[in-house]
Chain A
Amino acid sequence: MPEPLIEARQVEKFYDQPSDNRIQVIAPLDLAVYPGEILTLLGPSGSGKSTLLRILTGLSQASAGQVLWHGSPVNGPCENVSIVFQSFALFPWLTVLENVEAPLKARGVAPDERATRSVKMLDSVGLDGFESAYPKELSGGMKQRVGFARALVVEPEVLFMDEPFSALDVLTAENLRSELLELWEDKKMPTRAVFIVTHNIEEAVLLGDRIVVLGKNPGRIRTDFHVDLPRPRDRKHLRFTKIVDYIYQVLTKPDGDPALTLSGPASGSTSTAKYPMLPHARTGGIAGFLEILADHNGREDVYRMADYLSFEIDDLLPIVEAAALLGFVKVTEGDVEITPAGLEFANALILRQKELFRNAALENVALLKQIKSGLESKSDHTLPDDFFHDILDEHFTEEETVRQLETAINWGRYAELFDHDSERKRFFIPEERPSQPENVEVGTET
């Protein structure tokens, strides 16, 4: 084994709460980046993959553990790394050339040398002739090329990329991916290792020499394996689809399960009893998913489902998790199977659907149950947001708490369990209205 360039030892991230409860974002984990590899870090949203990238680059500090750069501890941003950002992070008031020159300027490189190196780098990413354009005049793909050039011009030892292709359209992304690989394979990059964060499974398998999959709540490594497919890789290749399917299996395994392995053991972590987390799926999405699943004879591969809907995992996984939480589907080995309750739901009319949803929610979703009984225990049937906010922020970050409440409101309204007044910031149970006429025509809502 060669010596790692960057190594994280028992690195974790958490936020201390006033009570002894702490919000764990990343559980203690070990991860090393070795020379000569493209490492792709894959994970659903909320698994802390961007946070991990920022800890490895020294942009943000780990709550505990150590980051080593060539064996010595890191304080502040690492000396010789670059980041390619999801949103490009180009300075809109600087021209393309000035953007690329900026990091050299920061290093005190003389004007002439600065210009020569920058122009050369822009040429190699195919941007000759665009030196004096402003970023806003460029298409998304062009902007990310500038981002590449700016990152590479300082000849970083490790190139970090934070979801570099996810803001681009499918074709542009494909094009840029293959150009990145070309630069890498032909050794046109002065870089010794590349670290790519992504939530796109195919992208991870297309690019990575090594794939690390993170689980969420808290973020931890669920699997870490090498991909020995030759490049260029073919999406239709049997081994390719096998790896993709395997990653889906890992991702759809319940979070509490010990880490799965394909080759060699991965560092797992002990997970303690957690406050159940609502997956952020819209009720319309859940209903639509169940109806489509019913049309597919009630059983389907998650991977094929995603492909069929052209969803990325961040879109599909919350829906699958929500349906599973409500007892409408079962997930086994990367397959989703509809349950009798789910089938009944899929075939019901909208009012009946709401009823089924209500029953399932009250049975399975702790937060909704809690809100409902809280409201019922009050004589005026209303409670302020803060009440539930305080319960949740013992367990989640501020941002996640807000999202949890938003999702709970969406589900609660759909199930007609309660309503919410966003202006006064209160939950309430609406007064009973005289029953609606029964013969209202209703369509299915998706």
Chain B
Amino acid sequence: MTSPSGLSRSLIRDRTWNFFMDAIVFACLFALIYSVVAVARYWFSAPVAAVQISLSPWAIPRYAFYSLVRMIVAYVLSLVFAIGYGYFAAYNKRVEGPMLAVLDILQSIPVLSFLPGVMLAMVSLFPSRQLGVEFGSILLIFTGQVWNMAFSFYASLKSLPRELMEASRVYRFGRVQRFLQLELPQGVIGLVWNSMVSVAGGWFFLMACEMFVLGKRDFRLPGLGSYLQSAAGAGDSTAITWGIIAMIGVVILIDQLVWRPAIAWSEKFKLEQVDSSSTHSSAVLNLLRKSPLLGRLRAGITAPLMERMYVSSARAEPETKAPPSNWRKGFVVLGGIIALLLILHGVFQGILLLKGITRDEVLTTLESAGATFLRVVAALVIASAWTIPAGVAIGFNPRLARIAQPIAQVAASVPATALFPVLLLGLVSLGGGLNTGSILLMLLGTQWYILFNVIAGAIAIPSEFREVADIFRFSRVDRWRTVILPAIFPYLITGLVTASGGAWNASIVAEYFHFKGQVLSTFGLGAEISAATDAGNFALLLLSTIVMATLVVSVNRLVWRPLYRRAETRYRLEA
């Protein structure tokens, strides 16, 4: 993991929009969440039967395949959407501000709290049960992974060097050529790294939503996640072992077959004019490059096809800016008014729904938010306490890094939600409750972000700094205070931002669990969301989701953004 940017939740540093924009986006969101919930309630009555999950190890390949297909469909959807969104935001000055605000808020929202709503809506939408649940899981994975990719593409379009843009204009590139030869190549590196993070996040959600109990209803999708959950529920340790091995195998396989080649290939798109020694290589990529079949495919199909596109886009007159006709303007205005009315209606209905909530419920929600907040803080503190020293040690010691980094990467890429049932089994047998246990579960999913960023930060410390510390015989405390901590600060913040978002999300599955036919839960906002789902209490679900989203966004705004700015200005290594 050489690029820390690949691990980061993108934090928008300079706000180009104002408070009202946030308020509007929030209103839209409120309306959206309500409508999801409302649709779900409307279709609630459709009967659903459960799929039986076989615990035989021989069933694993089939389940792994099903899980994989869901991932791929969701990822392709996200990629297309991200590119479209980024492109549109970058080139339309008028909507740029609102679109960025939407991105910033949506990526802070705990997607898992949508899970019940989306699932119910989808299941009811498609009478053929399987399709509905499948769509639901795909939609959830999509909403979990698309935002950082969209932001990455937007940011790379915005950072296109001016002279390259001018070259493409002066040489009269058409839209297609500009996209294929300038904009897409510029965005590739960011997209690849962010895709890795997104897909890892996708596994997290997939595992959570493959098997899902809602009151008396039991939604199951045949897949690795449901296999592991069923195995843990049955206490079948052989099945658990096989399931985990399969999970790790799939993750490693994807890493080797997809991400390594993709990273090595994307090196080509580095925006540098000087050859730096290539840091990534992939045997698979080399094989692909030499493959005669692929070569023939390219010569026979893709090349002529591209040629067609270039020629047709060259014929189309570039850069003719016809002023939008009145007819179109009117259409846009009308659309805007309708959208506004719908949003207002959604907000109004949402408020009506919330009116049914008693004061006690509001108080409990706020208290439980406090409890979860404390757990998130505890998880972050514990994670920092071990990852900072460990990360610095690994970063300073290349030999240790060679051993530790691959292990940590594998450990990190196993979705925490897949391990929850297994860990829970251990917790229950030890007699521990979920109160502290949920902290452990949050930790599992989030500590890696901090570890990898700290390692990257420690590696980036120039050796001169450490030599200065040696020559002047800095004490251990001074060494940490004046050299190490300030130097890794920006990386640490990036890691913490991402980790805190992950911890909030994890709380929904960590604080409330269906296990062996009973419910394990503890007091917290995540538990409240899950419990409200179970009970079908939509007012409470809406309230607690909004509370969580508000909390996450405010913590980002009030804590992380100022820290990030400080990291950018004061603690940046390059002068």
Binding site for B on A (CB under 8 A): 54, 57, 59, 76-77, 81-83, 85-94, 102-103, 105-108, 111, 134-137, 143, 150, 154, 422-423
Cα-based distance from A108 to B569 in the complex (angstroms): 47
A87 and B161 form a contact (CB under 8 A): yes
Smallest CB-CB separation from B275: which chain A residue?
A: A136
B169 within 8 A of A: yes
Smallest CB-CB separation from A85: which chain B residue?
A: B163
B315 and A108 form a contact (CB under 8 A): yes
B360 within 8 A of A: no
User: Interface of chain A, helix or strand or loop or mixed?
Assistant: loop
- On chain B, which size bracket covers the interface? 20 to 34
Cα-based distance from A91 to B318 in the complex (angstroms): 20
B166 and A136 form a contact (CB under 8 A): no
B164 within 8 A of A: yes
A137 and B275 form a contact (CB under 8 A): yes
* 24 residue pairs A–B, Cβ–Cβ below 8 Å: A59-B170, A76-B319, A77-B169, A83-B167, A85-B167, A86-B163, A87-B161, A90-B273, A91-B167, A91-B181, A91-B185, A92-B270, A93-B269, A102-B181, A105-B310, A107-B314, A108-B310, A108-B311, A108-B315, A137-B275, A143-B273, A150-B171, A422-B569, A423-B569
B181 and A136 form a contact (CB under 8 A): no
Cα-based distance from A77 to B55 in the complex (angstroms): 67
B170 and A91 form a contact (CB under 8 A): no
- Which listed residue (B163, B177, B185) contacts A105, Cβ 8 A? B177
Instruction: Specify which chain A residues have a CB less than 8 angstroms from the CB of B314 in the assembled complex.
Output: 105-108
Cα-based distance from A91 to B268 in the complex (angstroms): 11
B166 and A59 form a contact (CB under 8 A): yes
Cα-based distance from A135 to B307 in the complex (angstroms): 23
B272 within 8 A of A: yes
Smallest CB-CB separation from A98: which chain B residue?
A: B181
- Which listed residue (A85, A92, A94, A423) contacts B272, Cβ 8 A? A92
Cα-based distance from A54 to B161 in the complex (angstroms): 16
Smallest CB-CB separation from B177: which chain A residue?
A: A106
- Which listed residue (B166, B181, B274, B318) contacts A94, Cβ 8 A? B181
Smallest CB-CB separation from B271: which chain A residue?
A: A92
Instruction: Specify which chain B residues have a CB less than 8 angstroms from the CB of A88 in the assembled complex.
Output: 273
18 additional contacts (CB under 8 A) given A77-B169, A91-B185, A106-B174: A81-B170, A82-B171, A83-B167, A85-B166, A87-B161, A87-B273, A88-B273, A91-B167, A92-B270, A94-B181, A102-B173, A102-B177, A103-B172, A106-B171, A107-B172, A136-B275, A423-B569, A423-B570
Known pairs A93-B268, A105-B314, A106-B172; A54 contacts B273 (CB<8 A): no
User: Interface of chain B, helix or strand or loop or mixed?
Assistant: helix
A-B pairs with lowest CB-CB distance, top 9 = A108-B314, A103-B171, A89-B163, A89-B167, A93-B185, A136-B275, A85-B163, A106-B173, A93-B269
B182 within 8 A of A: yes
How many Cβ-Cβ contacts under 8 Å join chain A to chain B? Answer: 84
Distance in angstroms from A158 CB to nearest chain B CB is: 11
Instruction: Specify which chain B residues have a CB less than 8 angstroms from the CB of A103 in the assembled complex.
Output: 171-172
Binding site for A on B (CB under 8 A): 161, 163-164, 166-167, 169-174, 177, 181-182, 185, 268-275, 307, 310-311, 314-315, 318-319, 566, 569-570
Distance in angstroms from A241 CB to nearest chain B CB is: 34
B182 and A91 form a contact (CB under 8 A): yes
A102 and B169 form a contact (CB under 8 A): no
Instruction: Specify which chain B residues have a CB less than 8 angstroms from the CB of A102 in the assembled complex.
Output: 171, 173, 177, 181
Cα-based distance from A135 to B569 in the complex (angstroms): 33
Smallest CB-CB separation from A76: which chain B residue?
A: B319
Cα-based distance from A17 to B64 in the complex (angstroms): 62
Cα-based distance from A137 to B273 in the complex (angstroms): 8
Instruction: Specify which chain A residues have a CB less than 8 angstroms from the CB of B318 in the assembled complex.
Output: 106
Instruction: Specify which chain A residues have a CB less than 8 angstroms from the CB of B274 in the assembled complex.
Output: 136
Cα-based distance from A154 to B275 in the complex (angstroms): 29
Instruction: Specify which chain B residues have a CB less than 8 angstroms from the CB of A87 in the assembled complex.
Output: 161, 163, 273
Smallest CB-CB separation from B319: which chain A residue?
A: A76
Distance in angstroms from A196 CB to nearest chain B CB is: 16
Smallest CB-CB separation from B167: which chain A residue?
A: A89
Of A81, A85, A90, A135, the most chain B CB neighbours within 10 A belong to A85
Instruction: Specify which chain B residues have a CB less than 8 angstroms from the CB of A136 in the assembled complex.
Output: 270, 272-275
Instruction: Specify which chain B residues have a CB less than 8 angstroms from the CB of A83 in the assembled complex.
Output: 166-167, 170
B170 and A57 form a contact (CB under 8 A): yes
Cα-based distance from A422 to B274 in the complex (angstroms): 33
Instruction: Specify which chain B residues have a CB less than 8 angstroms from the CB of A82 in the assembled complex.
Output: 170-171
Cα-based distance from A93 to B180 in the complex (angstroms): 11
Of A81, A82, A89, A111, the most chain B CB neighbours within 10 A belong to A89
Cα-based distance from A372 to B209 in the complex (angstroms): 65
Smallest CB-CB separation from A58: which chain B residue?
A: B170
Distance in angstroms from A72 CB to nearest chain B CB is: 17
A59 and B169 form a contact (CB under 8 A): yes
Cα-based distance from A88 to B166 in the complex (angstroms): 11
Instruction: Specify which chain A residues have a CB less than 8 angstroms from the CB of B164 in the assembled complex.
Output: 89, 91
Cα-based distance from A94 to B177 in the complex (angstroms): 13
Distance in angstroms from A424 CB to nearest chain B CB is: 11
B174 and A54 form a contact (CB under 8 A): no
Distance in angstroms from A240 CB to nearest chain B CB is: 32
Cα-based distance from A102 to B319 in the complex (angstroms): 17
Instruction: Specify which chain A residues have a CB less than 8 angstroms from the CB of B269 in the assembled complex.
Output: 92-93
Distance in angstroms from B1 CB to nearest chain A CB is: 23
Instruction: Specify which chain B residues have a CB less than 8 angstroms from the CB of A77 in the assembled complex.
Output: 169-170, 172, 319
